[in-house]
Amino acid sequence: PVCSMGNSTSRLYSALAKTLSSSAVSQHQDCLEQLDSAQLDPIDPKDLLEECQIVLQKRPPRFQRDFVDLKKNAASNHRPIRVMQWNILAQALGEGKDNFVQCPMEALKWEERKCLILEEILAYKPDILCLQEVDHYFDTFEPLLSRLGYQCTFFPKPWSPCLDVEQNNGPDGCALFFLKDRFELINSANIRLTAMKLKTNQVAIAQTLKCHETGRLFCIAVTHLKARTGWERFRSAQGCDLLQNLKSITQGAKIPLIICGDFNAEPTEEVYKEFSNSSLNLNSAYKLLSPDGQSEPPYTTWKIRPSGECRHTLDYIWYSQHALNVNSALGLLTEEQIGPNRLPSFNYPSDHLSLVCDFSFNQDPDRLL
């Protein structure tokens, strides 16, 4: 159970964050849609973090990860924009479908795992948060993050595998959150991705934001492409569709672009090459951590299933390299930190690592592509 610290924030958090049964979800969504989050008291992030830590006191402490400074003496006249990308692992899939054979079921309990997820978000304090496999949006992430000052958007998969799991919490999907005191929403598009002209089960959210401090516009997008070996051409088609949509939204890259996602594709796949070679002039931010700036990390997900150990690079933060600079990126967990049983674990709530980058606008916005 969530320990109440005796103040109103804790009591409200405890009430809001209780996991709902699937039968209560639709009723709860209706209720939430009628609530104006502005009428709810703001939460102090420190209070929420403290409450999470009380819930997690029997678990090992968070792993230490450090930011790597990537600035090439590029002076910036504005505060960096911190972007966080993370496939948080849908609760229904973690408990019911994914078969993490070395992860004790006890480690997947939602009452504690959600606090590990929140602790990770609160530790890095992103200005923009892009999540995949969100199946507790309405009862956990929207009510809490809106009270932390985020504007929240959710787009579920049309048919979610979570719905196959007994006592599920509704469909999973992509979610995008940005701090309202830093950005203004100019335009928002929910995109159902197509492949070979057919609508698919995968989605994206793309939002054009205006930075209050600089007055500059940029587009932030989040997506989660089709999983599994054998679906490479399908992912490639989905990627092409997403790029076409983003070309239109950004007026052919006149508006700078950041794309976060679990692409379910290694850098050797066609969809990765499409993004690398796109006319939008995109680069993958995490390549900059490599010695030559040309190689992706060795892994962004690492798990053990009945079929064996899976270590892959599937998650990316793409950005308009003509318009944006990557000031720093969060280092990955080491193999030693991850441990022999891999992910998820009592230490870490997902089978995917969070990626976090600090961006600044290029000082010469009129520089040609």
Distance CA 75, CA 80 (A): 11
Residue 118 is predicted with a pLDDT of 98
Helices 45-55, 8-16: crossing angle, 10 deg rounding: 60
Length of the chain: 369
Residue 74 is predicted with a pLDDT of 63
Residue 89 is predicted with a pLDDT of 97
Tokens of 43: 């939460």
- Confidence category of residue 34, pLDDT binned at 50, 70, 90: very low
Q: Which residues pair with 198 in a beta bridge?
A: 195
Residue 97 is predicted with a pLDDT of 78
Q: What is the pLDDT of residues 279-304, one digit of tens each?
A: 999 999 999 999 999 999 999 999 99
Tokens of 81: 């924009």
Return the half-sphere exposure (C-beta side, CA atoms, 13 A cut-off) of residue 183: 27
- Confidence category of residue 311, pLDDT binned at 50, 70, 90: very high
| CA dihedral (37, 42, 44, 49) positive or negative | negative
232, amino acid identity:
E
Distance CA 138, CA 136 (A): 6
Distance CA 339, CA 147 (A): 35
Superfamily of domain 77-361: Endonuclease/exonuclease/phosphatase (3.60.10.10)
Q: What is the pLDDT of residues 63-74, one digit of tens each?
A: 999 999 998 766
Distance CA 319, CA 338 (A): 28
Residue 36 is predicted with a pLDDT of 55
113 pLDDT above the threshold of 60: yes
Arithmetic mean of pLDDT over the chain? 89
Task: Please say whether the beta carbons of 317 and 288 come within 8 A.
Answer: no
The CA-based diameter of the chain, rounded to the nearest angstrom, is 57
Task: Please say whether the beta carbons of 110 and 91 come within 8 A.
Answer: yes
Distance CA 265, CA 259 (A): 15
